[in-house]
């Protein structure tokens, strides 16, 4: 695997990618799928996801092309006060449940001998993105350690030093969390391991353009789970 140039920004083409068969299923349009997540009526949503999977979509395709855009729609509705916090939480819980079913149905690749640690930096309480990354990399054959939301910086650094992963994936929900990401990246590079682990980042500040990978001294920022899996193998 060729290491990316440090500070590489999001692949702009990846943001708009809708490859796979998912676009052929009407229910998978983001507003309609978001309706299902917010209402809790997920029977039709699961039926549509199964159709997409039969048509050849992968876990990463479903996450990037279906669930991700629907959750962006949910977030927009919350920001515009069209739905409540409780409804937003319900939508996230339903999305997590549906993706878990997709994960359980996936064919897992043989172990590739590489390890990844994924975590939300301190202050980021939104763990679904890390869960999606962890599942996608596990399907691709990686040994994965998924730490979830709001991991204290010192604890995360200690964990990374102990685990010695090939890749560290950090999720940020706000530009104010950049300092935590930089601290983890600096600690990873201060290690005596050769080569040092790659540090990749993702989350709203990078998608929105508020931050770049260079701002947190990361090797790369990825627009979605599929671009991360494609780049890292």
Residue 27: per-residue pLDDT: 59
SS3 content of the chain, % helix, strand, coil (to 5): 55, 10, 35
Domains by residue range for the chain, with CATH: 15-105 (1.10.1240.10), 109-232 (3.40.50.280)
Whether the CB-CB separation of 20 and 56 falls below 8 Å is answered with yes
Residue 233: per-residue pLDDT: 78
Instruction: Write the CA distances from 175 to 4, 9, 124, 127, 203, integer angstroms.
Output: 22, 15, 10, 16, 10
Residue 137: per-residue pLDDT: 97
DSSP code, position 121: B
Cα 192 from Cα 60, distance rounded (Å): 33
- Vertex 34 angle, CA 19 and 118, to 5°: 65
Mean pLDDT, the chain cut into blocks of 10 residues (233 residues total): 38 35 58 92 86 87 91 91 96 94 93 97 95 96 98 97 95 97 94 86 93 97 92 87
Alpha-carbon dihedral angle through residues 160, 162, 163, 165, given to the nearest 10 degrees: 50
pTM value is 0.84
Whether the CB-CB separation of 131 and 101 falls below 8 Å is answered with no
Residue 175: per-residue pLDDT: 96
Q: Which two tokens stand for residue 227?
A: 């671009």
């Amino acid at each position: 695997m060729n290491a990316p140039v440090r500070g590489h920004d999001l692949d702009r083409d990846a943001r708009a990618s809708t490859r796979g068969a998912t676009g052929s299923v009407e229910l998978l349009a983001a507003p309609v799928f978001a309706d299902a997540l917010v209402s809790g009526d997920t029977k039709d949503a699961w039926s549509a996801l199964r159709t997409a999977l039969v048509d050849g979509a992968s876990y990463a395709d479903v996450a990037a092309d279906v669930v991700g855009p629907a959750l962006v729609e949910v977030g927009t509705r919350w920001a515009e006060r069209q739905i409540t916090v409780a409804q937003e939480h319900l939508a996230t819980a339903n999305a997590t449940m549906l993706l878990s079913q997709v994960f359980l149905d996936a064919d897992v690749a043989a172990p590739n001998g590489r390890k990844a640690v994924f975590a939300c930096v301190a202050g980021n309480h939104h763990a679904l993105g890390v869960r999606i990354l962890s599942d996608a990399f596990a399907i691709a054959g990686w040994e994965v350690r998924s730490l979830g939301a709001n991991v204290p910086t010192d604890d995360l650094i200690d964990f990374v030093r102990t685990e010695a992963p090939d890749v560290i994936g950090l999720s940020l929900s706000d530009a104010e969390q950049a300092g935590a990401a930089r601290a983890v990246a600096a600690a990873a590079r201060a290690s005596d391991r050769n080569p040092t682990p790659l540090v990749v980042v993702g989350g709203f500040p990078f998608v929105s353009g508020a931050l770049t990978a260079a701002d947190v001294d990361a090797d790369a920022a990825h627009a979605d789970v599929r671009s991360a899996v494609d780049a890292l193998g």
